[in-house]
Amino acid sequence: MGEKENEDPTVTKMFHYKMLSDLLGSKEAAKSSMLYSYKHGFSGFAARLTDSQAKEIEVIPNQVHKFHTTRSWDFMGLNDHSTTNLLTKSNMGEGIIIGVIDSGVWPESESFNDRGMNPIPPHWKGICQEGQLFNSSNCNKKLIGARWFVKGILDQSQTPINISNGEDILSARDSSGHGTHTASIAAGNFVVNANYEGLAAGLARGGAPRAHLAVYKVCWSFGHGGCTDVDLLKAFDKAIQDGVDILSVSIGISIPLFSYADQRNSIAIGSFHATAKGITVACSAGNDGPTAMTVENTAPWIITVAATTIDRAFPTAITLGNNLTLWGQSVDTRMHNHGFTGITFSDRIALNNSDDSALGCKRGSLNATLAAGQIILCFSQSSTQNIFSAAISVAEAGGVGLIFAQYRSDGLESCHYIPCIKVDYEVGTQILSYIRKTRSPIAKLGIPKTIIGKWVSPKVADFSGRGPSSISPTVLKPDIAAPGVDIIAAYIPFGAEKSSGFALLSGTSMSCPHIAGITALIKSVHKNWSPAAIRSALVTTASQKGTDGSNIAEEGSTRKVADPFDMGGGVVNPNRAIDPGLIYDIETNDYVKFLCGTGFSSKSVSGLTQTKANCTKNRLNELNLNLPSITIPYLKRKVTVSRKVTNVGPVESMYKAVVEAPQGVNMKVEPQILRFNKTTQIVPFKVTFFTTGKVYGDYRFGRLIWRDPKHTVTIPISMRAIFV
């Protein structure tokens, strides 16, 4: 019934009884019928009524509500109450061990409880390594192993860790929160009523809640921080020895990238050996997008994961003194005064008018006398300016709130000190127009709300690293995209109130463990599938359409339709990936021959692969590595590419080719029909590309699809024509 008309709850309750008495005919009937009188936050009541009685007054039927998940898994179709999806078919990843190479773990987090967990799998050979504030009792049937590797970072920094000031913790215990977050995304157990400051509340869980976790701490916070190659390589080495089935690595190096055979590319080297042992390795694509060629972790044996949004947002109202309400987004639910207060534009209160540093609220740029008690409107002048640093600047100057207008970007962060709301330039300009036209402008900042399903999604995040690969242009990267914006997951306790144990974070670091969790589910069903087979299943069944049926877009400077350099094969579709029909498989020796074909010497390849490589005799045209994609960076008139597919569907199957050629290119597939039976389960085919243009072009994109009555097996095609 809306807002209370009287502040006295007794009066409100009497009004409810009178209304119900008039309907039912007596006070006694009203008392018997009424369940609750809502008289504090709002006005209303709950009562038992017949259908005919209900029709006489405006009522809302009482419904049974289900727990809400923390969204990203339900968004991908993996809700835990379905009996037909991949989550239930795989027994939630039961028996699979996911290794997480990161910054460690906070073992007391509820996400790592072992309720409902099966015994530790017999193939596990690892340990629970003790250290500072960490002992063997911190492990259980969920968190079955933990190790830490610090020698590399100690050698690099040449200074000891000062453990007395809390710089870091000399054990597998997480001091930054990053590793705890990623581990719980991959395989966190069920946690009821998880939330971040009251937002995104629901049932939290990882992708494979019945899988086991082993953590390997290689990233440290002391000194300049970071994760060194020697520590990373040791972590890979131990993870292989320990018996993990999957590795999640949300770590990378910036451009320029080192070659796959360079010892400084420890992730490429370590992941090669893991892959050779049948361990699937998922890595983050990096956060330097949306610029082209910023994708990291580009080795062809790695599953490289881009980040997307989901259909959840945190809209926050900004009410101006002229009663105009505009909307931004925020995750700051505390420190609000809930009333109108003065608002001003940062440039008006600059400490120094000779530069424009106050425009973006850089630290030390604001006049504290003029900022005190005001909401400050700031305009970011580049995509690198940060709402958090602007909030510190405003808080130091005595401001009580921040509205930060910026280049459209994904991901929210709490400002902690004052309430902050992020808006785009359009909304920022509307607010600025009001300030300029009003003698004493005022505004009120609302409390963020959690809204699901009202935004077109997913979209490729603006920060997600983009292809093509700068080191190996014939290998499409990223491979696949998964949720990575405003993901709620376990976190270390922080602040005086020790937080809720959960945090909202954004990055390809968050999308990577989504794929690791899904991989665990697939591996639980298809125990003998190779890492390449699992990657193929993910890529060939991925979605290119959003929730509204339109093509998935990318959040960049131009907001275009996403292409393979933004999201690889598309956004992961777990329930389709379990039954892909056909797979593009690759053996370890194929990677060796690929490396030889890219120009590495026998010595370099032998050093990387620990095999006796002969690159003179055994080399593979790099275009012919059996990837679930085709990328041709230099198409000179005509080229033919070879692939082969393995049938993992019904034994007797027939697939027909459907071609969507890139603009300016003709495609011919031979054969156009693939037939499988008991004796033929692997069939090769060739695709020939002809250019039809007469000028140099940029990359163009297309698809090759194999269809039978049940399956649609799609690989992305990326091509750039040149003329000689």
Q: What is the DSSP string of 98-151?
A: EEEEES-B-TTSGGG--TTPPPPPTT----B--BTTB-GGG--SSEEEEEE--H
- Whether residue 278 sits in one domain with residue 160: yes
Write the pLDDT tens digit of every residue in 289-300. 899 999 999 999
**Given this model, what pLDDT does residue 267 score?**
93
Q: Identify whether residues 644 and 717 lie together within a single domain.
A: yes
Give the model's pLDDT for residue 44. Answer: 57
On whether residue 368 sits in a domain, the answer given is: yes
The candidate with the shortest Cα–Cα distance to 575, out of 96, 89, 210, is 89
First to last CA, the chain: 75
Cα separation of 296 and 470, whole Å? 9
- Each residue's pLDDT tens digit, 454-497: 878 899 999 999 999 989 999 999 999 999 999 999 999 875 45
User: Model confidence at 66, in pLDDT bands (50, 70, 90)?
Assistant: very low
Structure tokens at 231: 């520590």
pTM equals 0.86
pLDDT above 60: residue 714: yes
* 511 carries an active-site annotation: no
Query: The domain spanning residue 512 has which CATH number?
Result: 3.40.50.200
* Averaged pLDDT score across all residues of the chain: 88
Of 449, 480, 507, the residue at which a domain comes to its end is 449
Catalytic (active site) residue 509: yes
User: Is 353 part of a structural domain of the chain?
Assistant: yes
227-255 average pLDDT score: 93
- The answer to whether residues 203 and 240 belong to one domain is yes
Do the bridges between strand 673-676 and strand 682-691 make them parallel or antiparallel, or are there none, so unpaired? unpaired
Domain boundary among 578, 610, 637: 578
Rounded CA-CA distance 137/656 in Å is: 56
Q: How confident is the model at residue 67, as a pLDDT?
A: 26
Half-sphere exposure of 246 (CA within 13 A, CB side): 35
Q: Which of 271, 506, 509, 629 is catalytic?
A: 509
Catalytic residue among 102, 229, 311, 347: 102
47 with 109, same domain?
A: no
- Burial class, 7, CB count within 10 angstroms (exposed 0-12 / middle 13-18 / buried 19+): exposed
Q: What pLDDT does 384 receive?
A: 61
410 is catalytic: no
* DSSP count for the chain of H helices, then E strands: 18, 35
Do β-strands 312-313 and 315-320 pair in parallel, antiparallel, or remain unpaired? unpaired
609 occurs within a structural domain: no
What distance in Å separates the CA atoms of residue 121 and residue 212, rounded to the nearest whole number?
9
**What is the band of 696 on the pLDDT scale with cuts at 50, 70, 90?**
low
Q: Are strands 638-647 and 682-691 parallel, antiparallel or unpaired?
A: antiparallel
Residue 496 within a domain: yes
Looking at this protein, which amino acid is placed at residue 448?
P
Catalytic option among 16, 178, 514, 711:
178
User: Is residue 349 packed enough to be buried (19+ CB in 10 Å), middle (13-18) or exposed (0-12)?
Assistant: buried
> What pLDDT, on a 0 to 100 scale, did the predictor assign at position 383?
61
Residue 591 is assigned to a structural domain of this protein: no
Residues 606 and 612 sit within 8 Å (Cβ to Cβ): yes
Residue 67, in any domain of the structure: no
Residue 408's pLDDT band, with cuts at 50, 70 and 90, is confident
702 near 717, Cβ under 8 Å? yes
pLDDT band at 5 (very low <50, low <70, confident <90, very high): low
Specify the pLDDT at position 47: 74
The number of domains in the chain is 4
Who's near 271: CB < 8 A, 6+ residues apart? 236, 247, 249, 281, 283, 299, 301, 302
Same domain for 498 and 435, yes or no, is no
| Beta strands across the sheet bearing 653-660 | 630-636, 712-722, 700-707, 653-660, 673-676
Residue 671 is part of a domain; what is its CATH number?
2.60.40.2310
In a domain, 598, yes or no: no
Which residue type, as a one-letter code, is found at position 310?
I
Task: Write the pLDDT tens digit of every residue in 74-98.
Answer: 767 777 666 677 877 888 889 999 9
The domain boundary, picked from 545, 578, 611, lies at: 578
Question: What range does the domain containing 264 cover?
Answer: 76-311+457-578
The pLDDT > 70 percentage for the chain reads 90
The verdict on 321 and 298 lying in the same domain is no
| 209 and 120 assigned to the same domain | yes
**Do 125 and 194 fall within a single domain?**
yes
H or E segment and range at residue 376: strand 375-379
Q: Give the model confidence (pLDDT) of 564-586 as tens digits.
A: 999 999 999 999 999 999 999 99
| Number of residues that this document lists for the chain | 724
Q: Are 419 and 506 contained in the same domain?
A: no
Asked whether residue 17 falls in the same domain as residue 148, the answer is no
Measured at the CA of 117, the angle between CA 115 and CA 121, to 5 degrees, comes to: 155
Same domain, 413 and 473: no
Mean pLDDT value of segment 115-139: 96
Mean pLDDT comparison of 161-175, 238-252, 604-618, highest-scoring range: 238-252
Residues 486 and 382 in one domain: no
**What's the rounded mean pLDDT across residues 638-667?**
96
Does residue 430 lie in a domain region?
A: yes
The domain that contains 378 carries what CATH number? Answer: 3.50.30.30
Residue 543, pLDDT score: 96
